[in-house]
Amino acid sequence: MKNTCPICDTGTLCERLEYQTVPYKGFQLNVPVTLSRCGHCESNSVSGIQLLKNKQTCMAMKASLTAHLNQITASSF
């Protein structure tokens, strides 16, 4: 399936993974974000599915950090 860029209507969108730093509870989370980049105009776009996936990844990382912090707190007492 060819994924044509909606912005320039010429290039093809290529799915790629980028890392975004998200501050959370005083920590910096390096969250992998899926997006599509056009090979022609180099604009980035995120589809609804990608957005949902990114949100889930971010939430999972926050949850695991919280669990980790709780573990540290629990073991220090």
Q: Which residues are within 8 A (CB) of 12 and not within 5 positions of it... i.e. 6 or more apart?
A: 2, 3, 4, 5, 38, 39, 40
Stretch near Zn ion under the rule CB under 5 A, chosen from 21-29, 33-41, 45-53, 56-64: 33-41
Closest separation in Å from C-beta 34 to Zn ion: 18
**Is 41 near Zn ion (CB under 5 A)?**
yes
**Is 7 near Zn ion (CB under 5 A)?**
yes
- The rounded distance, in Å, linking the Cα atoms of 21 and 10 is 31
Point out which residues bind Zn ion (CB under 5 A): 5, 7-8, 11, 38, 40-41
